[in-house]
Structure 1
Amino acid sequence: MAPPSVQDLHFSHLDIPITIDRIFSVMPASSIPVSTNHSLYLSNIDDMIGARVFTPTVYFYRSNNFGSPRKPIMEILLDALASVLVPYYPFSGRLRETQNGKLEVFFGPDQGVLMVQAHSEMALANLGDFTVPNPAWLPLVYRFPNEGQYQIIDMPLLIAQVTYFSCGGFSLGLRTCHCLSDGLGAMQFLNAWSSTAKAGVLVTNPNPCWDREIFRPREPPLVKYPHVEFMRIEDGSDLTMKLWQNKLVQKCYRISREFQARLKNLARAHDDSTCTTTFDAMAAHVWRSWVKALDVKPLDCNLRLTFSVNARQKLKNPPLKSGFYGNVMCVACATSTVSELVNGCLAETRRLVHDARLGISEEYLRSTIDYFEVDRPKRLEFDGKLTITQWTRFSIYESADFGWGRPIYAGPIDLTPTPQVCVFLPEGEGGSGGTMLVCICLPEQATSTFRKFLCLMDLDDQVGQ
C-alpha cells in the first residue's frame, strides 16, 4: 500500500546524557588580513533584529568502520576548520555595538571559533527517528552556562560540538551567528569546510567575498515602501494569546511530491497568467490551515505571513560578486483578514503570497536597508504573524559530507522557542525526490484540526468558489 500523501511524523521523547570532554578555541591556520582592534562593517540586512540570533543545526553520521573514530574525526574537522578560517576569517571575530546600537565585527587577541568535544553512552539507534527534528537533541549543540536568550555580543560566531556515541557514530552540532550569513551563505561556508576535510587541503569554490559595504544606506535614506513586515501592529485577534498561553507541541508532516503537485494545480485555479511555484501554493495552504485550526477571532482582523526571498539575482547595480556569503534574504509580507483566509479560496491566498514574493526587487531591498537606518527595530514582532522559513533549496545534506558520507539527518532541532515559525525542510536519507517536511508548533488541542485541513479535506469546497 502506498504511503499517504500527508504523513504525521513523530519523534521520541528522551534524555541524552552527554559528557563534555574538552572545550577549546580554533584559530585561523595562517595569517589573516586584519589585526587586533580591526573591525568589519555589517550591513543593515546583516544587522536586522531577526538576524541577531544563532542558528542551531545538527548533523548525524553513522559509524562507517572508522576504526578508532575519536581522534581521526576530530583532527580532520579541526585541521579543515582552521584552514577554512583563513579565507572566512570574519567567523573568528566577535560582535560589538557601535553608535545607535549598530553592530560590527571586531578582532581581539585569542578569539577564534569554539570547538567542543563530548561523548555519550547512548547509541544512535536510541535517538529515535532521524526523519524529523527532535527537541531532545538540544544537548548536542553547545550553549554556555547561564547564556542569555538571543545573546550575541562577545560570543564566538561559530560554535561546533562533536559528540561521539557508543556505536561509533557521532553528531556535529553547530551554532552559527546569522549576522554573518544567510542560509545560502552558511551552506557556502559549510561546503568549504567539508570539501577541505575531504581533500586534505584548502578548497573554496567560490572564493568567499565579504563586501558588505555595497549595502550601505543611501544618503539621505530613501524609504519607498511601508515595510509592514517589520512594523509593530497591535494584534486585535486572539491568535497570539492562543499560541503563547497554551502548551505548544512541535509537529512535523511528510508531504509527498504528488500532494505538492496537486496542491499547486488547485492553487492555480485555472489562472495561467501568473507563474505559481510550489512554495506559493504550500505557503498559502499552510497559512490558511494554521489560521483555521487556531479558530482565530474576530474575522475582520488583519494577519501577516512573512517569508524570506533570495534577492541575489535581483541585484544589478552593482551585481553581487561570486562568493558573497552575507545576508541577501529580503523579507516579503502578505496580509489578509481572518475572514478572507478562512472563507476565501486557496487561489486567492496563493496570489497574495505570489505577489509578495515578486514584490521583492533591488529597490525594495535598498528601501529595507534605508528603513533600518531611519527606524531600527529593537525587538522581534510576532503579533498576528506566521513566518515560513524555506530550507528545501539549501544543499544542506550535500554540503555536510566531510568524507564519511551524507549525514542521516541535517537540519534544525527545536522550533518551540519561536512558535509562530513554520519550517519547510528537505527529507534526508532515504527520502524520495521532492518530498518535503512541514514543521510547525501548535497548541496541543489544535493538532488534529490542523492535520485535517492540511490533508485537503476542505479543498473540495474551494474548487468551486
Structure 2
Amino acid sequence: MAPLWVQELHFPHLNIPINIDSMVSVVPSGPTPGAPGKTLYLSNLDDMIGARVFTPTIYFYPSKSDYHKPVMSTLRRALSSVLVPYYPLSGRLRETQNGKLEVFFGPEQGALMVEAHTEMSLADLGDLAVPNPAWTPLIFRFQNEEPYKILDMPLLIAQVTLFSCGGFSIGLRLCHCICDGLGAMQFISAWAATAKAGRLITKPEPCWDREFFQPRDPPLVKFPHIEFMRIDDGSSLTTSLWQAKPIQKCYRIGHEFQAWLKTVGQQDKMSTCTTFDAMAAHIWRSWVKALDVKPLDYELRLTFSVNARPKLKNRALKDGFYGNVVCVACATSTVSELVYGSLSQTTKSVREARVGVSEEYLRSTVDYVEVNRPRKLEFGGKLTITQWTRFSIYESADFGWGRPSYAGPIDLTPTPQVCVFLPEGEADRGGSGTITMVVCICLPESAAHKFTELLCLMGSTEGKTANALKQ
C-alpha cells in the first residue's frame, strides 16, 4: 500500500465552558538579584517588533491511574523554585528612551498562575493531534486585554484547567522578549524536571548575558533588511485574506512526501537544500496560487526565523543562554514567478535567504533595530513561516505525568499570514531523518479547497510523477 503523503486533518467546532477557581501570583521561592528598583538590559534581538508578543501554547495530559501528586500545587511549587534562577520572568517590561524595552522589578512581580475547571472530559475535545481554535478558553487572557499588550504584564501566564475525566491542560503565555523557541524549551524543561523530581533542576544553568548583543558604536548596518521594510501592499493578498475571516487548515505531511519535495526542489543542481527550504517553497507557492493574488508583477515576501547560534564564529554564547538569537530571513518573488515558475526556483530563493543569515547579518540586524527601531508589524504581501519541528516541545514537558498528548499552538486566525510547521506527537522519524509534521495555515474558506489540491499536487505534472513513485 502506498504511503499517505498528505492528509487533511479536521477538528470539531466546540464550546468549552470554563470556570476560573483561583488566580495567584507566583514569586521566586528564594532571594534573587531582582530586587525592587533593579533593571535588566534586553538586546535588540529581544526587542525586535516581532518579539513583542506573547507566544500561546497548550499542553494536554490525559488521566492516568498512577497520578499521585496534586496538579496545581505541584506546578506552583516547582514554578516558584525555578523562578529563582529564571528570576527575570518574575519582572515586568517597560519602555525607556527611544521606546527601547527593559525588564524592571517593582512591588508587583511574579508569574501568574490561574486554576480553572470544566465539566467536559478530554475525550469531548476530539482529536488532540490537531490544533483547534476552540481551545482558546484554556489559555488565560485578561478581560478587555489589548492585542499585543506586553508592558506591565506578567511575563509568564499559566492556566491549569482540570477536566472531569481527571486529565488536565496547561495553557501557557510566555513573553517572546524574554526567550526564543529554544530558550522557551530550556525554561519549560527546567520547570518540568523540577516538578517531576520535587527539587530544583536546571540543566544547563540559565544565563542572561543580553549585553552579548549590544549594538556597535557607531551602528553599522550592512544589509538592506527588507524583512523590516514597510511595503505598500499593492496586491490583493492581504486585503482579501483579512476581509474574508480566514479559517485554519491543518495537514499531516509524511516524511516520504517531504523527502520527495526536497529531491524536486534541488533539481537545478544548486547547492543542497534542506527539507525546510522545499516545504516552505511548496507551501508559499500553493498559498499564493490558491489566493489568486493579483497583479502578477507584484513582489511578495516570505519571512521565517533562522536560529543564529551556529553562525557565531568569533565568540560563542555561554551555555544556558535563553534569550533571542534569531534573525528574520526574507525571500522575495513576484506573483508570476511563484505561479508559473518551478518549485526548484522558489526553493533556491528560500535557501539563499536562509544561508544569507550570517554572524555579520545578525550584527547588522542589531544595529538596524538600534537606528530605526521599527514600531509596527508589517503584513504587506507577506507570508511568515514558523518552524517548531526542531523544538523538543514534547520531550521538555514531562512534569511528572508523562509526555503531553498534544503540545503546541492553538489558533492562528488572529494573525492569518502566519503558517506553522509542528512536530507530530507520536511520529516516528523516517530513514531520511525527517519527521512527520503538521502544517497549519489560514485561508479564506473560498480558497481552502484549491489550496488542499495544490498542496497535494492534484492534477499537476509534479503530482503525476509523485503518484507514480508512490506505487
Q: Shorter chain as normaliser: what TM range?
A: over 0.9
1:414 and 1:461 map into 2 onto residues whose CA distance is: 32
Is residue 345–residue 463 contact of structure 1 (8 Å, CA) maintained in 2?
Answer: no
2:464 and 2:273 map into 1 onto residues whose CA distance is: 16
- What SS does structure 2 have at the residue aligned with 1:201? coil
1:311-326 correspondence runs (5 A): 311-326=308-323
1:67 and 1:210 map into 2 onto residues whose CA distance is: 35
1:321 and 1:262 map into 2 onto residues whose CA distance is: 38
- What SS does structure 2 have at the residue aligned with 1:90? helix
Aligned to 1:453: 454
Quick check: 1:289 aligned with 2:289?
no
Given candidates 201, 214, 218, the residue that maps to 2:199 is 201
Aligned to 2:14: 14
Is residue 346–residue 462 contact of structure 1 (8 Å, CA) maintained in 2?
Answer: no
Is residue 206–residue 320 contact of structure 2 (8 Å, CA) maintained in 1?
Answer: yes
Aligned to 1:443: 444
Is residue 52–residue 177 contact of structure 1 (8 Å, CA) maintained in 2?
Answer: yes
Shift of 1:324: 0.5
1:65-464 correspondence runs (5 A): 65-66=65-66, 72-269=70-267, 271=269, 273-429=270-426, 434-457=435-458, 459-460=460-461
Is residue 121–residue 165 contact of structure 1 (8 Å, CA) maintained in 2?
Answer: yes
2:14 and 2:183 map into 1 onto residues whose CA distance is: 33
Shift of 1:67: 5.6
Is residue 409–residue 429 contact of structure 1 (8 Å, CA) maintained in 2?
Answer: no
- What SS does structure 1 have at the residue aligned with 2:394? helix
2:439 and 2:85 map into 1 onto residues whose CA distance is: 35
Cα shift readout 1:356-395 (whole Å, capped 9, x = no counterpart): 0000001000101111111111100000100000000000
Which runs of 5 or more structure 1 residues have no equivalent in the other structure? none
State the aligned residue count: 461
CA RMSD of aligned residues (A): 1.5
1:181 and 1:458 map into 2 onto residues whose CA distance is: 44
| TM score, norm. by length of structure 2 | 0.95
1:156 and 1:133 map into 2 onto residues whose CA distance is: 25
Is residue 47–residue 179 contact of structure 1 (8 Å, CA) maintained in 2?
Answer: yes
Is residue 251–residue 441 contact of structure 1 (8 Å, CA) maintained in 2?
Answer: yes
Match of 2:369, as an amino acid? F
Is residue 67–residue 401 contact of structure 2 (8 Å, CA) maintained in 1?
Answer: no
Which runs of 5 or more structure 2 residues have no equivalent in the other structure? 466-471
Is residue 394–residue 425 contact of structure 2 (8 Å, CA) maintained in 1?
Answer: yes
- What SS does structure 2 have at the residue aligned with 1:266? helix
Aligned to 2:469: none
Is residue 217–residue 373 contact of structure 1 (8 Å, CA) maintained in 2?
Answer: yes
Mean CA deviation greater in 128-137 or 407-416: 128-137
Shift of 1:316: 2.5
Match of 1:89, as an amino acid? Y
Shift of 1:202: 0.9
Shift of 1:339: 0.6
Is residue 26–residue 114 contact of structure 1 (8 Å, CA) maintained in 2?
Answer: yes
1:107 and 1:40 map into 2 onto residues whose CA distance is: 9
Match of 1:36, as an amino acid? P
1:75 and 1:454 map into 2 onto residues whose CA distance is: 46
| TM score, norm. by length of structure 1 | 0.97
Is residue 345–residue 462 contact of structure 1 (8 Å, CA) maintained in 2?
Answer: no
Shift of 1:430: 5.8
User: Displaced runs of 4+ in structure 1, greater than 3 A?
Assistant: 66-69, 429-433, 461-464
2:272 and 2:36 map into 1 onto residues whose CA distance is: 51
Match of 1:238, as an amino acid? S
2:281 and 2:25 map into 1 onto residues whose CA distance is: 45
Is residue 457–residue 463 contact of structure 2 (8 Å, CA) maintained in 1?
Answer: no
2:285 and 2:156 map into 1 onto residues whose CA distance is: 37
Match of 2:168, as an amino acid? F
